[in-house]
Amino acid sequence: MLKDIYYENPFITYDHIPIGICIINSNFNIIFWNRTLEAWTNIQREEVAFKNIFELFPHLQSPKYKARLKLMFDGRPPMVLSPMLNEYFIPIKDAEGKYQAQTVTLSSIPTNETGSYNVIIAVENVATLFNKVQQYRMIKNQAIDELNRRIEAEEKSKEYAKKLEQLNSTKDKFFSIIAHDLINPISAQYKLVKILKDNIEQFSKEDIIDIIAEIENSASQTYKLLENLLTWSRSQLNRITVNIEKHNLTKIIEMAASDVSSQISLKKISFEINENCNSTVCCDSNLLATVIRNLLSNAVKFTNYGGKISVSCRIDDDFTYIFIEDNGVGMDEETLSNLFNLDKTQSKLGTNKEVGTGLGLVICKEFVEKMNGEISAESKLGEGSKFTIKLPNCPN
Amino acid sequence: MDNSKKILIVDDSIVARMSLRKILSKKFSNIREVSSGTEAIELLKTEQFDCLLIDYLMPGINGITTIKILREMGINSPIIVISANQQKSIVDKFNELGVVAILKKQVSEQDLFDAVEKALPSYGG
Amino acid sequence: MSYELTQIQQEAILELLNIGVNESTNILSEILNVEIDLAIPQIRIITSDRLIDELKDLGKEDYSAVNMEFHNSFSGISQIVFSQDSANKLVDVFSRQVLDTYEFDEIKADALVEIGNIILNAILATFSNSLNHEFEFYVPVFFENYKKDFFEQRLKFIDEVVLLGKAIFRIEELNISGDIILFFNIKSFQYFVSIIDLYINKIS
């Protein structure tokens, strides 16, 4: 009868529960190995009967297992070893070759002898739960990655919005320059031409020459402004190609200076290019010439009759510096700080009432930056200004 | 019954002192007790003992510090440590200080007398 | 019913508790690989309805606890409760020794069960051995995020006393310290006290 079997072998009940049960005696020999363990490990009970558990599973000799097992033989309360913190107790591999995650409970049961105990090792397979945890962890990490990606994308679109804003403001500036700075001189030219046409009989030859000179002056400046505007807008639209090569610096300065030579002589300004500029510079010759031309043009504009403009250079191991200095009217703090700022460009009349749009310097900054350089300015009101172009040397 | 040997028990727990005394008084009659390391140090400035039983975990200065200070004072009486705490680092520290034995609480009669015998080699009774 | 303990009875219980917790540090230090000091400076007796107020001392209402029931002529539930701060510190030390990478939250429960189990185990074993009383022990149970009302439900022996002590742990090497609260909810407390008296008689 089943009842009798239970009495004969009290452990037989353990064959009917889905938990791995192994019972060891105080010599650490296995005296029971249930069916579940047989199924999990493929080790039959006959194979392990009375074998020493430490010989069968040497990893159990580590103190954290051995010490706790030893204690159990004093009749202690149960101890639990969790899967997260303990390696497998009994090594059981699953279909993928991973070790089964186990929760192990150690309990002591008294034997017939007083004061003597056996220890039950109950092994619960928590692999499914464990795997679920891993899965959820993966999902969580994926969700976090996705979240980060979205945040990045949002940042990007904010960047684009900003860029768009900038472009809009550039476009607005463009239109405002056309609307204000160009319309006036052109309107003036038109008026002059009209006056000339309507009254040419009344004018003397000298008068006519004077008026034409004025028209010519205004037209030339207008042309320069328009040129500047177009250059600037092309630069904005990145339509300007940059070719960085080695060039002779003095030649480029001379080329730029030739365009302003008439104004220089008109205002009787003394102009010199220092010898230390006679050296090789790494740049795009067109861009650099435009920059220097613009800077010289400004210098001339804001220098008084009989003043002085000088161009000098300094070359060290890594950079080439070009200094354009004048002893003209200089600028105040506010103007100086907003010099290269597009939004704050102002039209300022030169010492000879020359007009400008302020775009020139903005263009200079952009061109210098296209050559990987920097531009800066110093100035003292009433004493003059000094512009510095800093360009990296060509790698040897 | 040995009247000649003076034994000092150092333990903050009255129950622990009681239980040690109970065992020791089977063979010794001259037993003193103090409840802290500091008291022990004070007492040992003026009195001599043949054997000291010192607990590890006590409020104030613990057993290790007490022994260190006693040794520095030049007191070389044999010391038996009674400690529930058997952590390796602690046991090593005690051994470095040269104690006769480190007994685990709750001390059995047999273990205690074995240790005392070791500590008092002249004791034969 | 008087729930007062005499001085000597308090000392006796305290001594047994301390022997127990000290024993547990033997194993804990093996696993944590650091020297750990654990001591219970004193105990108090309170009635079980006051337990919830005591737990408020732990700060928030979220704490982790491990329970272990014991049965014989006197029975009870021993419980160890970790304040969040102490729990985090212990789990951190525990897991650094045991794992390379881990998600703190995942292993927190497991680490606390093990630590709590080791401590309670040692205490109850000491009681059992010293009082010469063999208990039947039930498998430990873990509670996380212990909320007030959940605790009330679990309180098995209402109108009985609770022996409570604060265990202070220190890990010198890592400059960590914290506290763990121990409760012993003992049914038939009077009987328990009489067993303590027997023990005192035995040793005095």
CB-CB under 8 Å, C130 with B83: no
**CA of B22 to nearest chain C CA: how many angstroms apart?**
6
Comparing alpha-carbon positions, the chain C residue that sits nearest to A105 is C139
The pTM of the full predicted model, rounded to 2 decimals, is 0.60
pLDDT of residue B41: 93
**Counting runs of H as helices and runs of E as strands, what totals does chain A give?**
12, 12
Q: How far apart are CA A275 and CA A134, in angstroms?
A: 74
Where does A240-396 sit in CATH, by number?
Answer: 3.30.565.10
Contact C23 B57 (CB under 8 A): no
C153: pLDDT strictly greater than 60: no
What is the spatial distance between Cα B43 and Cα B8, in angstroms, rounded to a whole number?
A: 10
* Smallest CA–CA distance from C31 into chain A, residue: A64
Reported confidence tier of residue C59, pLDDT bands at 50, 70, 90: low
For the beta carbon of residue C188, count every other beta carbon within 10 angstroms. Answer: 14
Q: What is the pLDDT of residues A237-265, one digit of tens each?
A: 777 788 899 999 999 999 999 888 888 88
Higher pLDDT, C67 or B71: B71
Residue in C8, C22, C39 nearest the CB of B14? C8
CB atoms A64 and C31 under 8 Å:
yes
pLDDT band at B124 (very low <50, low <70, confident <90, very high): very low
Q: Give strand pairing partners of A115.
A: none
Q: Chains meeting B at 3+ CB pairs closer than 8 A?
A: C
Query: In this complex, do B106 and C19 lie within 8 Å of one another by their Cβ atoms?
Result: yes
State the CATH number of the domain containing residue C14. 3.40.1550.10
| CB < 8 Å to B14, chain C | 8, 11
Instruction: Give tens-digit pLDDT for A6-63.
Output: 556 677 788 888 899 999 999 999 999 999 999 888 899 899 999 999 999 998 988 7
CATH of range A152-238; options 3.40.640.10, 3.40.50.11710, 1.10.287.130, 1.20.120.1200: 1.10.287.130
Provide the pLDDT for residue A20. Answer: 92
**With contact defined as beta carbons under 8 Å apart, do A127 and A100 qualify?**
yes
Interchain CB distance below 8 Å, A74 and C129: yes
pLDDT of amino acid C158: 52
Partner-chain contact C203 B18, CB within 8 Å: yes
The set of residues, in sequence order, having a beta carbon less than 8 Å from that of A68 and lying 6+ positions away, is A79, A81, A106, C27
In-domain check, residue C2:
no
Does some domain include residue C173? Answer: yes
Is the domain spanning A2-125 CATH 3.30.450.20? The answer is: yes
Residue C89 lies in a domain: yes
Higher per-residue confidence, A34 vs B1: A34
| Number of domains, chain C | 1
Cα-Cα-Cα-Cα torsion C49, C50, C54, C60, nearest 10 degrees, comes to 50
Higher-confidence residue of A5 and B125: namely A5
B13 → closest Cβ in C14, C20, C23: C14
Looking at residue C62, its pLDDT comes to: 60
* Sequence spans of domains, chain A: 2-125, 152-238, 240-396
Whether C82 contacts C55, CB under 8 Å:
no
Whether C1 is covered by a domain: the verdict is no
Q: How many Cα atoms within 13 Å fall on the side-chain side of residue A291?
A: 31
Domains, in order of start, for chain B: 2-119 (3.40.50.2300)
| Domain range for C166 | 7-203
Q: What's the average model confidence in pLDDT over C65-83?
A: 76
Q: Which of C9, C19, C130, C174 to mutate to test the interface with B (most CBs of B within 10 A)?
A: C19
Report pLDDT for C179. 72
In a domain, C110, yes or no: yes
Q: Which of B84, B98, B97, B80 is nearest to B24 (CA)?
A: B80
Q: Is the confidence at residue C151, as pLDDT, over 80?
A: no
Token couple for A73 = 């033989």
| Residue in A68, A107, A133 closest to C27 by CB | A68
| Residues of chain A falling short of pLDDT 50 | none
- The complex scores an ipTM of 0.75
Residues of chain C with Cβ-Cβ distance to B9 below 8 Å are none
pLDDT at A295: 92
Whole-number pLDDT of residue B66: 93
Q: Is the model's pLDDT at C152 over the cut of 60?
A: no
C107 to A84: CB separation less than 8 angstroms, yes or no: yes
Q: How far does the CA of residue C181 sit from the closest CA of chain B (Å)? A: 19
* Cβ–Cβ below 8 Å for B57 and C12: no
Of C11, C14, C25, the CB nearest to B85: C25
Q: How far is B106 from chain C (nearest CA, A)?
A: 8
* Minimum-distance CB partner of C35 among B84, B89, B105: B89
CA distance linking residue C65 with residue C80, whole number of Å: 5
Query: Is the CB of C41 less than 8 angstroms away from the CB of B18?
Result: no
> Looking at the predicted structure, is the pLDDT value of residue B1 above 90?
no
Nearest to C106 among A76, A80, A133 (CB): A133
What would the two tokens of residue B118 be? 């070791």
Report pLDDT for C35.
86
Cβ contact C22–B105 (<8 Å): yes
At B125, the pLDDT band (50, 70, 90 cuts) reads: very low
| pLDDT at residue number C156 | 52
